[in-house]
Structure 1
Amino acid sequence: MKRRKYGDCQREDGNCAACSLSSYNRDCHGRAISKLEWYRLVNNMSVTELADASGVALRLIQRAERGESDVGNMTARNVLAIADALGVDPHDLL
């Protein structure tokens, strides 16, 4: 079982992207969610799994998901690697 984002999560798998209470760019608590985090959750991946699959530093992914840095400021190599690991078009992450 994946770690749940919130303690009151009602989903067994803790997947915010699959929760009927959330929507694109908003989680079940109505808080903004980055495109990167949304697509990662849609793919049912942890941050560690995404870092391993893409070869991008875990800390870099965490900072982008929290809004501390912008995906658009990552190197093209990192954006492409993350997009490939998630199976999405790189433009979807920007």
Structure 2
Amino acid sequence: VLPYMPGQTFLAKKSPAWSTGVQKSASGRRRTTAYYPAPFWTFQINYNAVRKRPGLDEWSRLVAFFNRRKGQFGDFLYFDRTDHQVTKHRFGFGDGVTRTFQL
């Protein structure tokens, strides 16, 4: 999980990215294909201050985090404070007998 730093601001930008293929025939008819079943989310996070001093080396902690993942090569988790709860979402349909469902 991306480490939270005291100088980190609230989420600056969150946007969906889709991958869609478009084919256009000679007659002008268009056919589209969605390559992703769900959007790939991109996040922008700003840091007001990242401190580097004895006993408080936030800069090295952040650099080490990205180096362990080899930049864009590795994956990591980000806890989105604006979108982390689900309420009243259906995850199973009852038949009058079944009482437990896998979530």
Q: Report the TM range for the smaller structure's normalisation.
A: under 0.3
Choose 1 or 2 for highest CA Rg: 2
Which structure's residues are more often helix, by fraction? 1
Which structure's residues are more often strand, by fraction? 2
